[in-house]
Structure formats: C-alpha cells, structure tokens
C-alpha cells in the first residue's frame, strides 16, 4: 500500500487502538431533509469535537461545514436514487475522484446493493472506484446497503456482502450489526464499521449495539440517526466514543446521557 493511501487510512482509524468513531450525516442524498438533519450545519457543529471523521456529500461539506475542519472527510460519492423513486438500489457514482481530491477527502464511500436488481451495476461501480482510488491513494469505504429491506440484516447475508466488498478491493466496509456478528467480521479481511440504522427505542439500546459490535470485532462505528436524532446528541456521541476508544462498559458510558 502506498504512502498516501496509508496516511489517509491512519487519519480515519486510530493506529493506536485500531478503532474509529465516524459521524454519518450523508442521509440527505436520498432522504432529503430527514428529521434533525434539516439544517446540517446546526446538527453537525456541536458533534465535531467528538468525531474522528465526517461522512457526508460534497453539497453538505461545501455549504454546511467550516473550511477550517480539522478532522478527515469520508465523501459519499454514490447516489442517483431517492426514497420516493422506483428503486433505492439504483445508485451510480455521482461525484468524481477529482472532486474528492479537490475537497481533500480522506476516503470515498459508495453503497452496494447485493441481491437486488442493481447488484451488478453497484458492484461494478465499486470496482471502478477502487481502481481510481488505487491510482490516487484514496481509500474506498463500501456500504452494504439494504434500502428499505431492514430484515435482510442477518449474518449470512451481511457476510456475503462484506466479503464481496473486500474481494472487489474496498479498503473498509460499513455494515450492520447482527446476531453472530463475529462471523461477519472473521470472514471480512478489511476493517468493518457499523451503521446504527433507524433510531432505536432508547439511547441505551444504541450504546449496547456499539458495545456488542466492537466486542465482536468491529473497528468502530459510522453512526448517524442514533446520535443526531437523540435528544442528547452530544452525550450520545461522547458515550459511543468512550465505548469504542476506551472499551467503557455500557453503564459507565451512559453517564454522558445524564
Ligand atoms: C446510508 C448510509 C448512512 O450513512 C448510514 O446508514 C449510517 O447512518 P445510520 O447510523 O443513521 O444508519 O450510509 O446508506
């Protein structure tokens, strides 16, 4: 692996503990102004001090984030779909590698939709992005997206998705936590982070999720709604940080929610 690629990765996953807390605020690319992210600048700003990287689109980055940002950016480069369109899986690459470099991104992110009518297209897009990433030293984060079919999230399906993403060259994979998650981790040769998915019933549920994921081998989280849709968004990200970077037990981390 070349120096530029290694350097970018070292900004995203702390080389000391091999862990990462990323904040996902890219949801608008297919959901529009989703609840609590209507004004991204207001949502994002107080969370930045506790985040290792921001995952977002070029539009949100340019319009809602200060250019003095000190943490790395994971640029969402796939899209072309919407929640009201015919198929959420119909994504292509909508932001170029040149643009990612211009924006000083530390990685690019793309969703793959395995088992859908657009599986082939999204996997070839992943391959294309990895080829370009190799040329410029840009890591690729593959997101094993399930669209509206949340029930697909089991170890068998997610192992298949994560392994395919890694085989096609993604340097990092973002997936979901599931029962028997350690099987997913073991069969994926690159670092895995988990999404939080739709907001869980309680903040404690989200902390349990993060705790179980890292205990079973995840490198960390790339969470969105369970952080910024919480009434205590700052407390939530601080608690997750304590779990991911300090191996804090859930009860101890929960002090940030008081
Ligand atoms: C959408 C994404 C989102 O960034 C991802 O789902 C993470 O956010 P959340 O924790 O809200 O699920 O990649 O495809």
DSSP string for residues in 180-247: THHHHHHT-SS-EEE---SPPSSHHHHHHHHHHHHHTT--EEEE-HHHHTSTTHHHHHHHHHHHHHH-
5 lines ligand 1 (CB under 6 A): no
* pLDDT computed for residue 152 by the predictor: 82
* pLDDT computed for residue 62 by the predictor: 98
Start-to-end CA span in the chain (Å): 44
Helices and strands of the chain, counted as H and E runs: 12, 10
224 lines ligand 1 (CB under 6 A): yes
Cα(134) to centroid(ligand 1), Å = 25
31 lines ligand 1 (CB under 6 A): no
* pLDDT computed for residue 154 by the predictor: 93
* Interatomic CA distance for residues 193 and 171, integer angstroms: 12
Nearest residue (CA) to ligand 1, atom 14? 145
Cα(187) to centroid(ligand 1), Å = 22
Cα(44) to centroid(ligand 1), Å = 15
* pLDDT computed for residue 256 by the predictor: 97
Mutation probe of ligand 1 site: the residue of 27, 34, 116, 230 with most atoms within 8 A of C-beta = 27
111 lines ligand 1 (CB under 6 A): yes
Per-residue pLDDT 10s for the chain (258 aa) are 799 999 999 999 999 999 999 999 999 999 999 999 999 999 999 999 999 999 999 999 999 999 999 999 999 999 999 999 999 999 999 999 999 999 999 999 999 999 999 999 999 999 999 999 999 999 999 999 987 787 888 999 999 999 999 999 999 999 999 999 999 999 999 999 999 999 999 999 999 999 999 999 999 999 999 999 999 999 999 999 999 999 999 999 999 999
25 lines ligand 1 (CB under 6 A): no
**Residues of 35-68 as b/e, b for ≥16 C-beta within 10 angstroms?**
ebbeebeebbeebeebbbbbbbbbebbeebbeee
Active site residue 174: yes
Contact yes or no for 210/243 (Cβ under 8 A): yes
Domain 3-195 grouped into CATH 3.20.20.70: yes
Mutation probe of ligand 1 site: the residue of 144, 222, 244 with most atoms within 8 A of C-beta = 222
137 lines ligand 1 (CB under 6 A): no
Q: Which of 202, 208, 178, 206 is nearest to 192 (CA)?
A: 178
* pLDDT computed for residue 28 by the predictor: 98
* Interatomic CA distance for residues 24 and 27, integer angstroms: 8
* pLDDT computed for residue 214 by the predictor: 98
Given 6, 174, 183, 199, which residue is catalytic? 174
Residue that is written with structure tokens 């003095």 in the block: 68
Nearest residue (CA) to ligand 1, atom 5? 195
């Amino acid at each position: 692996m070349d120096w530029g690629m290694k350097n970018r990765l070292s900004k995203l996953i702390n080389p000391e503990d091999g862990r990462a807390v990323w904040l996902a605020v890219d949801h608008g690319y297919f959901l529009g102004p989703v609840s609590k992210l209507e004004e991204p600048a207001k949502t994002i700003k107080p969370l930045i001090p506790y985040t290792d990287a921001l995952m977002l689109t070029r539009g949100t980055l340019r319009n809602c984030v200060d250019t003095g940002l000190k943490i790395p950016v994971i640029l969402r480069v796939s899209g072309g779909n919407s929640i009201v369109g015919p198929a959420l899986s119909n994504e292509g690459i909508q932001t170029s590698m040149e643009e990612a470099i211009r924006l000083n991104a530390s990685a690019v992110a793309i969703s793959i939709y395995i088992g859908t009518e657009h599986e082939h297209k999204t996997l070839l897009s992943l391959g294309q992005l990895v080829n370009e990433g190799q040329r410029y030293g840009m890591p690729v984060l593959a997101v094993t997206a399930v669209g509206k079919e949340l029930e697909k999230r089991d170890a068998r399906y997610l192992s298949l998705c994560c392994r395919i993403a890694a085989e096609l060259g993604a340097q990092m994979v973002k997936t979901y936590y599931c029962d028997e998650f350690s099987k997913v981790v073991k069969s994926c040769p690159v670092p895995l982070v988990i999404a939080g998915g739709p907001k869980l019933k309680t903040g404690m549920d989200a902390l349990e999720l993060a705790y179980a994921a890292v205990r079973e081998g995840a490198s960390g989280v790339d969470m969105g709604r369970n952080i910024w849709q919480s009434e205590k968004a700052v407390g939530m990200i601080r608690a997750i940080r304590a779990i991911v970077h300090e191996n804090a037990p859930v009860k101890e981390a929960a002090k940030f929610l008081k």
